Amino acid sequence: MTTRKTDGALSFPVFVNRLPQKGVTIKIDADEREREALRDFHELEDVKSFKADVQIMPWKKDGIRVRGTVKAEIVQSCIVTLEPIDATVNAEIDTLFVPESSRLARLPLDENGELIIDAEGPDAPETFSGDRLDAGAIAEEFFELAIDPYPRKPGIGDAPPVVASFGEADETEKPANPFAGLKDWKQKT
């Protein structure tokens, strides 16, 4: 059962302390109440559908690998015209989790104690505490990352947003010099 949370719209906790070797598969098909919560939480016009297929399986000694897909049909507002735009979200999930106490959770440091990060290398596993992961929250995180942050209506291109003006500007008028007020100022010594 999914519930509304303050840090997301979906929650589907899965106990991971005794996963079968082949893992478990979770299928999430958001109902109307959950789609409304997703719409409100992610500031969308509408969420017409939200489906996630998530496989949670053991990884190495005490880690968890989460793989799957998220598919959704949403409606966003165009950032230029504010008209509604239909969009499709297709997100691939592939992430690793390790307990906070795992040695894999410690980030590598060099001899000076500085953090070593390889921009082209794999992401470090995320940590979790307790005996469960929230498959709904994981699916929602990848859903959010796949949403276009600047949706534009087809044909708009890269035109700047239209800004309403409240007065006609004189085209011969030059903008004020920001240093004009200093021309008569003299420093007293």
- What does the H/E/C string look like for 147-165? CCCCCCCCCCCCCCCCCCC
Q: What is the pLDDT of residues 76-103, one digit of tens each?
A: 999 888 999 999 999 999 999 988 776 6
pLDDT band at 60 (very low <50, low <70, confident <90, very high): confident
pLDDT at 44: 95
| Spatial distance between the Cα atoms of 133 and 137, rounded to a whole number of angstroms | 9
pLDDT at 163: 58
Average pLDDT, the chain: 82
| Spatial distance between the Cα atoms of 51 and 28, rounded to a whole number of angstroms | 5
Using alpha carbons only, give the angle 79, 85, 86 rounded to the nearest 5 degrees. 145
In percent, how much of the chain has pLDDT > 90? 44
Does residue 185 surpass a pLDDT of 90? no
Report, as an integer, the average pLDDT of 135-158.
89
pLDDT band at 1 (very low <50, low <70, confident <90, very high): very low
Does residue 4 surpass a pLDDT of 50? no
Which H or E element spans position 43?
none
Single-letter residue type at 5: K
Report, as an integer, the average pLDDT of 56-72.
92
Give SS3 for 71: strand
Report, as an integer, the average pLDDT of 176-180.
75
By DSSP bridging, strand 126-128 and strand 24-29 are unpaired
By DSSP bridging, strand 46-59 and strand 24-29 are antiparallel
Cα 143 off chain centre by = 7
Give SS3 for 104: helix
**Closest by CA position to 139, among listed 41, 63, 27, 44:** 27
Does residue 9 surpass a pLDDT of 60? yes
